[in-house]
Amino acid sequence: MTYGPVEGLVLRYAEQLTTRAAVDDALHAELGRHLSDREIVELAATIATANFTNRINGALAIEPER
């Protein structure tokens, strides 16, 4: 699948936030050229919520509903 430039940045942001719980300043600045501060906060909150949910579900061995 091919992603556009902003989608690629969002995916890199999600990967860094998920694997390191931090984002490089350079990536944050690059994303800031495409998204507002509010949009970046919403993105970070969405990623954090997904990570929280996945960790709770994993710890409790809860399978997703199908």
pLDDT tens-digit series, residues 2-44: 999 999 999 999 999 999 989 999 999 999 999 999 999 999 9
- The boundaries of the domain holding residue 9 are 5-59
Nearest to 44 by CA among 22, 19, 66: 22
Per-residue confidence (pLDDT) for residue 1, from 0 to 100: 81
Q: Residue-wise over 31-56: b if at least 16 C-beta within 10 A, else e?
A: beeebeeeebeebeeebeeeeeeeee
**For residues 41-57, average pLDDT:** 96
Task: Please state, as a whole number, how many other Cβ atoms lie within 10 Å of the Cβ of residue 4.
Answer: 9
pTM for the predicted model, two decimal places: 0.85
Say whether 22 sits in a helix, a strand or coil: coil
Q: Which token pair is 36?
A: 């507002």
Q: Does residue 64 lie within any of the structural domains?
A: no
